[in-house]
Every structure is written in structure tokens, then in C-alpha cells.
Structure 1
Amino acid sequence: MSHDARARARARAHAYAHGHWQLTDDLGVFHGRAEEFLHSAPALHTALLSVTDTLRVSGLQAYGEGAPLFGTYADDAGRVQGAFLRTPPHRLMVSPVTGEAADALARQLADVTGDLPGVGADQDTARAFAQAWEKHTGATATPGFRQRLYRLGTLTPPEPAPPGRARVAEERDRELLARWHREFGEAVGEPPAMDSGAWVSARLAYGGVTLWETPDGTPAAMAGVTRRTAGQVRVAPVYTPATLRGRGYGGAATVAVTRAALDAGADEVLLFTDLANPTSNGLYQRIGYRPVRDFAQYDFGR
């Protein structure tokens, strides 16, 4: 065994003595290990819950051709205290964990893969993992997209509502939805995690997009919603074409999809906003959403 290999083995042994990560490429195994932990705080784990649900329903290549990787972090008593997943080619996604757990994960993944494009997590976990990844791999971590997670308090529709009505998107809207999905990614500067055609098919299968139409029947905005998992749903994405913004259409679509989620039995309705966009942050608070926690992304390079 080389000196470097012995050093890595000693580091792993030290990590295991103080809690360790168990890695797997089996979604069923991960679900069995992580379900109770993820369900213990559905809001903070909303992205992990929705992504694993999509993988379960749409297949392991829903987000790309690479094989997903999953993991859970257990303490000395075997209790799961953290989870992560990676769907190549996208960033690592990590639940809130301690700095020690973030460092242990970076050290362990450095032995498995050296090509992580980045990480996304609550801001403290993301920062801790990014610093650990730099330390263990020599990569450079650059701060990226910053978001704020909101939870619905009391839904307060704006008055007056814009003229028009809400309706659930249908098969006839497929081309429009795919185009708006792509345009949304361009608007926020983040490529869509899923192919737009596949995203539309997945959402249409459960009525996961609501359109706001003007009185003449022209779609003016859309608001999507994830499938309910662990009692929570997340509104995503909300998009209004640039030429139609400022008229309340996006807010009306958000109110409609939020009300529908509540009527369908959701315990929590959540959404993420771009922290760099004061307009959307102000809108969602006016209609009843309250801040929960800030999240951050880091991109890795050499």
C-alpha cells in the first residue's frame, strides 16, 4: 500500500470513529436508510425529497445519463444525521450537516470522484463542504447562485387579482411549457436540471403546472408544483415572459397553485427564491410566504 493510500485509510478510520458516510448507487437502499431522517424535517430536505421522488417515478437517468450516487451520515449510535445525492452532471446536493460531517464527506468523495462540478446546500453546509473540497482536492470553489427557502404561513391573495383565470396545463400546452421551462433557466442563469421535454411529460402526468390565462385565453404565466412527499410540496418554477411582467400574472399563478396544493392536503407549501431578485422575494412575502433558511451553491474548478 502506498503512503497516500495508507494516509487515506487512516483518515477514513478516524472519520468512522466519529460518525461516517455510507455510500450507495441503489435508490432503494438509500431510501431505506434516509427516509426517516428526510421526513423528520421535510422543509429543509425538500430538494432531496423531490429529486428522489422524481428518480423513483421517472427512472435513475431522469436528470442525466450518469449513475446517481447517494449517501447517509450516521452518528456513533447509528442514527442518520445527514444525507446527500448526486445526479451527474449536476452539483452535489447535501442536507444540512455539521462541519465535521461536511469535511468527512469531502474527504470520502475525493477518494471516489475528483470531478464534482459543485455543491448546493444550506449556506453553512455549502460553505463548509466547499472549503473541505478545496482542502482535500486542491480545487477552487467559487460562490454561485444564492436562494432563500420560504414556507407558506397564511395565504393572502393580492387584491385586486389581474384579469383572467387559472387552469391546470394540459397536453395541448406541451410546446409552450417546454419553451417556458428553457426560458426560465435562461432567466435565472441556471440550466434546467432536466431536459425540457422530459420535465413537461413528468409534470403533465400529475397536473404539476398551472397556467394563468388572460380573459381571451392567452397563457400569461405558469407556476409549477412538485409531487407531495412527506406532506410537503414546493412551488417551482414560477415564470412570466419578459413582455408580460409587472402585471401580477406570476403572483396570481402562484396563489392558484398554492391554494390547489392546500386543497389537495399538503401540510407545507414551500418555494425557493433568487436572493438577487428583490421583486420576487417581496411578492412571495406579500402573499404569505415566510423565510426559513438561506441556501447557496458553489462551483468547483481547477
Structure 2
Amino acid sequence: MSWHITEDLDDFLARAGSFLRSQPVLHTLHLTVTERLRTYGSTAYGDEAPVFGVLERDGVARAAWFRTPPHWLTLTPLATEDAAALAVHLADLGHRLPGVSADRGTAVAFAEAWRRHTNAEATLWKHQRLYQLGELTPPDPMPPGRARIVDKADRELLARWFESFATDVGVAIGNPGAWADARVEHGGALLWETPDGVPVSLAAAHPMVAGQVRVGPVYTPPEQRGRGYAAAVTVAVGRTVRAAGAAEVLLFADLANPTSNGVYQRVGYRGVADFAVYDFTGPPPPQGQSSSRAQPSSVRR
């Protein structure tokens, strides 16, 4: 087996598209990110060109990864030895990686190999659970108010709340206005508003790809929390995308936040798999060289 690496999205999808669609739940990140790149162009996530990789055997894709600089590398599930081999291969090619995101086993194997080969630190940044919607269970009682799809008049509110959400979870974002424009364009967000028309919570959703829709972010301003608004708008967005034909409704939750995990489980989401994001610090080796100074300590979990 060998890795085919390319900056050509069409080439990547021609090689890996069927493989990604064969397991749309586990491959939700790859499907939604590549769909956004296909729709909005290569600068949808940053100024640098995205990079893609496909692991092929006899012309058939077995695994895939993508990276949209400056973000981390995102991998489909891999055997431990294959994840480790990929880390060494990319380091030797001179790739400068800020981190890796994958199912927990794959992420640990890749991060450990990267640390050994480059002498970079590899620290667990986030431990997430992928949830899949089962039987939708509205909260009882529902908070007062109603859900509605966002429109152009909500654009500034969406951008501001998205920026606040990113600050809360500690992630870098590109252009909040462009994110808001995309949600307004495809109707991909709902607001819960009080009976007097004040928006109090947001649940966004990515466009449907391969029958799956990934919900996120779900955001409630701090002063409105604890009143059931997040549960209500999460139920509303799940009902909406199912009515639009989604076979699978998915979302990620940070396991360090028991409140959000509890909300999602109460309204009908069930855990599918655990994912991890590792942050790499320290300079990678020069292109074509590996470090011989790696210390024997393990990847920090």
C-alpha cells in the first residue's frame, strides 16, 4: 500500500470519494470539509492550499487524510502501524504539522510516532465523542419560545456568536462573516427565540453529504444558559434536517464539558466513537531528516 498526496481536491475525491461515502458517520469530517472546499474554493479555511492523502492498495482507497492549513491533519481510522508509518513518512517529507485529529486509537499512534521521530511534544488538546441521533426526545417541559431558520437580518448576530463560540472552545477561526453568510445562504442554522422575539440560542448544521448532516456549533450566550434553550434548539435542528432527508444526524461534543454531553444524550443522541486532537509543539526536523534526540517519554494523554 502507498500514500498518494495531492493538493487537487478533484483528484482526491476521485480516489477517495467512494471510500468516504462507504462510512458516512465515521467520515463526517472528511465529507463535510471537502464539500465546503468544493463549494467555496480552496481558501474556505485559510489562505494556504489544502493538502490531501489517500492510502491505496491495488487502486482501492483504504484510508484518507486532509489538512487545511493552519489547522491540524485529520485522519480516517488506521491500524496502529499504518498511523505510525504515515507520521514518519510526512515528517521525512518535511510536512510541518500543528497537530492531528482522528479517532482516539489512530490519533494516539500517530502522535506517538510523530513525537519519537521529530522530538516535538505531543499533548492531548481535546477528547471528543461523536454522537448519532437516535429517537428524538424533546425536553419536557420545552422552554417558552420557538425555533426559526436564520435569514439575512441575522447575519451580524451569527458572526458574533460564532466568534464567541470559537473563543469559548479555544479554536482559531477564519472569517466569522463568511461563516455566517454560508449558513444564511443554505438555511443551515436555527435560532431559538423567546416569545417576544429575542434570539437566545443557536444550532447550526452543515449541508447534507452522503445522507449525513453534522450539527455544530450549538451556542447559547452565557447570560441565557441554564434555561433549556440549547436542548430546544438542538431538537429543532435535528427535526429540521431529518425532515429534509438526512439519514444520519451527527454532532461532536467535548468530553470535558459534561453539561453539553448530558443535554445531547437527553434529547436522543448516542455515542458512536471517541476522537482525540493532539497538539504538536517544537520545530519539526528539516526536510528529509529525522531527529535522533527523541526522549523515551510517552505521548501525553
Give the TM-score taking structure 2 as reference length: 0.92
User: CA contact under 8 A between 1:20 and 1:104: conserved in structure 2?
Assistant: no
1:43 alignment counterpart? 25
Partner of 1:246: 226
Q: Amino acid of the residue matched to residue 32 of structure 1?
A: A
Q: Which residue number corresponds to residue 29 of structure 1?
A: 11
Instruction: From 248, 251, 264, give the equivalent of 1:271.
Output: 251
CA contact (8 A) 1:48 1:85 kept: yes
Q: Is 1:148 aligned with 2:160?
A: no
Q: Distance in 2 between matches of 1:90 and 1:96?
A: 19
Which residue pairs with 2:39 in the alignment? 57
Query: 1:85 Cα deviation (Å)?
Result: 0.2
Instruction: Tell me the equivalent position of 1:95.
Output: 76
Can you list the C-alpha shifts for 1:39-58, whole angstroms capped at 9, x where unaligned?
11111010111100000001
Structure 1 segments, 4+ long, off by >6 Å, are: none
Alignment deviations for residues 9-30 of structure 1 (CA, whole Å, 9 cap, x no partner):
xxxxxxxxxx221101100000
Residue 89 (structure 2) pairs with residue 108 (structure 1):
yes
Residue matched to 2:263: 283
Kindly indicate whether residue 195 of structure 2 is the aligned counterpart of residue 215 of structure 1: yes
1:3 alignment partner in structure 2 = none
CA distance in 2, matches of 1:24, 1:137: 23
- Deviation sequence 1:84-111 (CA, Å, 0-9, x none): 0000011001111111221221122113
1:296 aligns with 2:276: yes
- What CA deviation, in whole Å up to 9, does each residue of 1:99-127 have, x standing for no partner? 12212211221133342100111111111
Q: Distance in 2 between matches of 1:104 and 1:36?
A: 24
Q: Separation in 1 of the partners of 2:46 and 2:122? A: 23
Contact 1:58 1:202 in 2 (8 A): no
Does the 8 Å contact 1:22/1:72 carry over to 2? yes
- Residue 14 of structure 1 corresponds to none
- Counterparts of 1:269 and 1:114, CA distance in 2: 34
Once residues 95 and 54 of structure 2 are traced to their aligned partners in structure 1, the CA distance between those partners, rounded to angstroms, is 20
Contact (CA 8 Å) 1:73, 1:101: kept in 2 or not? no
Aligned to 2:155: 174
Partner of 1:85: 66
Report the counterpart of residue 262 of structure 1 in structure 2. Answer: 242
Q: Return the offset for 1:268.
A: 0.2
Query: Which has a greater percent of helix?
Result: 1
Q: How far does the alpha carbon of each residue in 1:123-173 deviate from its partner, in whole angstroms, 9 at most, with x for none?
A: 111111101111222211111111100001110111111000100011111
1:184 is aligned to 2:165: yes
Task: Name which of structure 1's ranges 100-109 and 265-274 shifts more when overlaid on structure 2.
Answer: 100-109
Distance 2:258 2:132 in 1: 17
Structure 1 residue matching 2:187: 3-state secondary structure: coil
Gap runs ≥5 in structure 1: 1-18
Contact 1:21 1:104 in 2 (8 A): no
User: Which amino acid counterpart does residue 133 of structure 2 have in structure 1?
Assistant: L
Partner in structure 1 of residue 291 of structure 2 = none
What's 1:202 paired with?
182
Distance 1:50 1:104 in 2: 26
Structure 2 portions without partners, runs of 5+:
283-301
Q: Number of residues paired by the alignment?
A: 282
Q: Secondary structure at the match of 2:5?
A: strand
Q: Report how far residue 78 of structure 1 moved.
A: 3.3
Report the equivalent of 1:126. Answer: 107
Letter in 2 for 1:145: K
1:8-19, aligned counterparts within 5 Å? 19=1
Q: In 2, are the aligned partners of 1:147 and 1:295 still within 8 Å (CA)? A: yes
The whole-number CA distance in structure 2 between the counterparts of 1:107 and 1:82 is: 16
Query: Counterpart in 2 of 1:4?
Result: none
Match of 1:67 in 2: 49
